[in-house]
Structure 1
Amino acid sequence: MAGLGCSSQSEGSQLDSSQLNDTNNASAGNLKDIEGIWIGNLTVQGGLELRIVFNISTNPDGSISASMDSPDQGVSGIPVESVSYKNGNLNLGVKSIPGSFEGIYKENNETIEGEWKQAGSVFPLVLNRIEKAPETHREQDPIKPYPYTEEEVVYENKEAGVKLAGTLSLPQSEGPFPAVILITGSGQQNRNEEIAGHRPFLVLSDYLTRQGIAVLRVDDRGIGGSTGNVSQDTTEDFAEDVLTGVEYLKSLKEIDPSRIGLIGHSEGGLIAPMVAVKSPDIAFIILMAAPGVTGEEILYMQSDRIARAEGASNETIAQNEALMRRMYSVVKEEKNNTAAEEELREILRTEIANTSEQKTESSGHSEAVIDAQVTALTSPWMRFFLTYDPRPTLMKVKCPVLAITGEKDLQVPPEENLRAIDDALKAGGNKDYIVKELQGLNHLFQTAKTGSLSEYAKIEETISPDALEIIGNWILEHIQEE
């Protein structure tokens, strides 16, 4: 589902030089070619553009150090563990994502032209030297000083051995306050849920805190200030982190324990009902672009909508779906990872052999792409996501629910998902819920023309003021009823 259409977020820690001396080397005399700050644009799923920045410098011993930033995802200082530059060829290895860049320095125009490889895909990437790393500020980003207080907080999910770091925003009026926890979409997101130069959770948190509601927003496991390795985790594990956050809020004198709610976006909209069913302390939940059907159904819908928005033919769309169905069938039916991996490799090799126009030349790249795709498909997260049906859980949710989705959402299409959410809540006997499609809004709740992922960065608006007002008013109505 890729809650926000991207998969390449990683550790946000500062660069540690001790991690960089893996295979870092260069031929003498060429280092000045590549020293400095380099930026390039990746065009990923659905035409979404993400900027990648490499910071390259030389050490006293002649080796090269590098780090990587993804400014549109709010991540900086990602260690580049292996760096080599020889005869104009630059190779950068980022194991923590994992990803790699291979490029050739072009002296005539001072660019480095090559490819970025990650998560089973290969993207062309041209790097240009810049003097200063880009700073991103959107019109809706709040500007300090704020009319409320912010606290950096850390608490622990002891059972999982995970430390969670976040920001708690507290109104300046007298407490105890009602509170909400913001739950990010899929892929490792930081506390502001940064994507395409936007910080949706920063904007949402600012809006709600000004309304007198305390807000806790948290870095996902393994990103920013939070610890953990998500390679073996599923959505259920992330739900346990949110439950830990609820217990943390209940321990604070500034928070009213009877008025704690959850706001989940995309995959966060799967997590919020899980937590509401497990914890009687949840006063309400808001589902923003939440799935109402299985992950497998979501992925077919998403692939179809995005491909059509890009102008793909019906034949291409049908071929893509047929391939997806073959692969997902293996993932669902073959529980042994070794056997599943071999079957998936055979499917992908056959597909590449049938479609590649440069079979021999691309064979090395193909195997790397296949390995990455197979790893992603057989991960615990994907195995869970494909088959998890949110409807039985939604039927058990008894607290008030607001479910909203943008009419132009291509990632979690509104008609099928809102209908499924509505049916499940009704079947479960929930007496207080609203299911609403918001006209003209995309997956990020921006006012959009097409809903295409490529629009995200181009739209100046971070969240529609109408969406913010709907959320804020609904919460205020329900906390007053308590």
Structure 2
Amino acid sequence: MKTIIVFAIVVTMSIVSAFSQDISGDWNGEAKRGEKLITFVFKIEKENSKYSSTMSVPTFRVSGIKPSTTTFIDGKLIIDGSNVGMNYKGIFNKESQQFEGTYKEGGLEMTLNLKKGAIKIEDLRRPQEPVKPYPYYEEDVVFKNIEAKVSLAGTLTLPNKNEKFPVVILISGSGPQDRDESFMGHKPFLVLADHLTKQGIGVLRFDDRGHGESTGDFGNATTEDFSKDVLSAITYLKTRNDVDIKNIGLIGHSEGGIIAPLVANNSKDVAFMVLLASTGISGTELSVMQSKTLRQFPVKDEIAYEKNTRKAIAIVTSNKSDLEIKNELTTHYNAFIKPILTSLNVPEEKINLFIESQLKTSLKPWSRYFLQYNPADEIEKLQMPVLSLNGSKDTQVNAKINQEGIRKALIKGGNKDYEIIELENLNHFFQECETGNMDEYRKIEQTFSPTALKEISNWIFKRIDVN
């Protein structure tokens, strides 16, 4: 997820009265997190007396976020983005001509005031990003997941329009992602697509369902649902006469790396696969590991903390009703998390907000599916060529532990053509880095290590069937 901006405009009293009936247009504001100002922009539209909004966060170069509902009643604006993990509530102040309110995302809460008007967005392009006109063919495309009634919008790039080319489908990581997998001011899928296309390999990348220009509900989708969106992408590519359908491959990053095996095992048309920072252990084990390595607060007893984390997961993955799980999980978090945060002098209001966020995340269909899914079970079935790349300084997905899981699964399944490489000094997004910590991503100018880019393209060319 990401954030948005601020600007002031002069509004006459005649317009003030109109706001009580129609707030359509652009609204922008800045929220402060630590020392950093984050700019937000909401484009609010009205159709048949109902409002909808699209959120952008220019600070992080993120756009196309579609909150599920937007309401404006008696001067109160509520933008409910529970489908994408955010919420905004504001009350219109006639004197200052702005909505004054609070933006929430996960356990984060920030004051955010919104004023009407468009703003000029600074070009924050990173050095590796290509500049148009590109030396290759580019086409905006739309294809459908008919079963889910979802339209998926993306971009297809080909070396030229006059031949048939091998094509890879890029599969993004967790959270709502656009076709460029935009994050922290970077566009790794844009850089990867540019590199591969220049090398002679076509690329299809697309906005996740419910995000950007794609339709559908992201918030209630699971890893399996996303795999069916990729299957629809394969079906679409097979309709084109400029795609070499014998050489359709998958490149999955992070969660995309566990989606890819699901796709391949439900299709006869995947020729090869590249796993980038993929996991090779169950969702439960990964979550337990991340609960310790990515935790932002200390604990006195790590053994007890892990035991309680596993208990929370057991509650979430039980066969009980949603209400029973919510009640049991609330009781558990209050007995487990609350005392830890209280001992660290965290205000009760923030503790309750944190627990509320944990509950919402835990009860999502995606979480329940992910915790019970072990990608090794699907990787074991793969009989096509597989390349696994992980960075040695990846703090989100430990390279050694996860690559060992991938290796064991491939060996157990009898795969004869695989390569597993740990790339030195690269983080979760394959940037050359110092620590690999998540707060470092934005500070690094490099988007994608040239070493990693070459490993990917060189490996693919060795596996392409040209017969």
Range into which the TM-score falls when normalised by the shorter chain:
0.7 to 0.9
Aligned partners of 1:457 and 1:268: how far apart in 2?
21
Offset from partner CA, 1:352-371 (integer Å, 9 cap, x none): 653437999845x6655544
Q: Determine if the alignment matches structure 1 residue 304 to structure 2 residue 289.
A: no
Q: Cα deviation per residue 1:147-172 (whole Å; 9 max; x = unaligned)?
A: 10111111111111111111000112
SS at match of 1:198: coil
Shift of 1:66: 8.3
1:451 and 2:439 aligned: no
Structure 1 residues not aligned, in runs of 5+: 1-5, 11-23, 106-110
After superposition, the Cα gap between the structure-2 partners of 1:203 and 1:361, relative to the gap in structure 1 and judged at 3 Å, is closer
Shift, 1:77, TM fit: 7.3
Q: Is the 8 A contact 2:66 2:211 kept in 1?
A: no
Please list every run of 5 or more consecutive structure 2 residues that lacks an aligned counterpart in the other structure: 5-17, 93-97
Residue 295 of structure 1: how far off its partner (Å) = 1.0
Distance 2:132 2:43 in 1: 32
Whole-Å separation in 2 of the counterparts to 1:318 and 1:375: 26
Q: Which residue of 2 aligns with 1:40?
A: 31
Write the distance in 1 (CA, Å) between the matches of 2:30 and 2:64. 13
CA distance in 1, matches of 2:402, 2:65: 37
Q: Is the 8 A contact 1:265 1:288 kept in 2?
A: yes
Match in the other structure for 2:95 = none
- 1:116 equivalent in structure 2: 103
Q: Name which of 283, 291, 299 aligns with 2:279.
A: 291
SS at the partner of 1:81? strand
Distance of aligned partners of 1:282 and 1:65 in 2 relative to their CA distance in 1, 3 Å threshold: closer
User: Could you say which structure has the greater relative contact order, defined with CA pairs below 8 angstroms and 6 or more residues apart?
Assistant: 1
Moved more, 406-415 or 129-138: 129-138
The residue aligned with 1:108 is: none
Q: 1:212 aligns with which of 174, 184, 200?
A: 200
- Residue 387 of structure 2 aligns to a residue whose secondary structure is strand
Paired position in structure 2 for 1:477: 462
Establish whether residue 339 from structure 1 lines up as the match of residue 293 from structure 2. no
The equivalent of 1:385 in structure 2 is 370
Partner residue, 2:263: 275
Residue 194 (str. 1) matches residue 185 (str. 2)? no
- Other structure's SS at 1:244 match: helix
Q: Are the aligned partners of 2:103 and 2:112 in contact in 1 as well (CA < 8 Å)?
A: no
Cα-Cα RMSD: 3.7
Structural mapping, 1:132-171, within 5 Å: 132-171=120-159
Q: Does the 8 Å contact 1:115/1:122 carry over to 2?
A: no
Structure 1 contact 233–380 (Cα < 8 Å) conserved: yes
| Contact map agreement 1:50 1:196 (CA 8 A) in 2 | no
Which of 438, 444, 450 is matched with 1:465 structurally?
450
Which SS does the other structure have where 1:440 is aligned?
A: coil
Structure 1 residue 351 displacement after superposition: 4.2
What SS class does the counterpart of residue 222 from structure 1 fall into? Answer: coil
CA distance in structure 2 between the aligned counterparts of 1:425 and 1:212, rounded to whole angstroms: 29
Q: Counterparts of 1:337 and 1:142 in 2: how far apart (Å)?
A: 47
- Cα drift, residue 83 of structure 1: 6.4
Sequence identity, in percent?
39
Deviation at 1:411, TM superposition (A): 0.9
Deviations 1:429-479 (A, max 9, x none): 111000010100000000111011101111000000100000011111111
Provide Cα deviations, 1:115-155, integer angstroms capped at 9, x if missing partner. 53233x13345779996334321111100110101111111
Matches within 5 A, 1:64-463: 68-71=55-58, 72=60, 74-76=62-64, 81-82=70-71, 93-95=79-81, 97-101=84-88, 116-119=103-106, 121-124=107-110, 132-172=120-160, 174-307=162-295, 313=298, 315=300, 320-351=305-336, 353-354=338-339, 355-356=341-342, 362=348, 369-463=354-448
CA drift of 1:280 comes to 1.8
Question: In 2 relative to 1, CA 399–368 (structure 1 residues): closer, same or farther, beyond 3 Å?
Answer: same
Asked if 1 retains the 8 angstrom alpha-carbon contact of 2:3 and 2:39, the reply is no
Change (3 A) 1:135 1:469: same
Kindly provide the amino acid, as one letter, of the partner of residue 40 in structure 2. Answer: V
Q: One-letter code of the match for 1:137?
A: R
Residue number in structure 2 paired with 1:51: 38
204 and 339 in structure 1: CA distance in 2 versus 1, 3 angstrom threshold: same
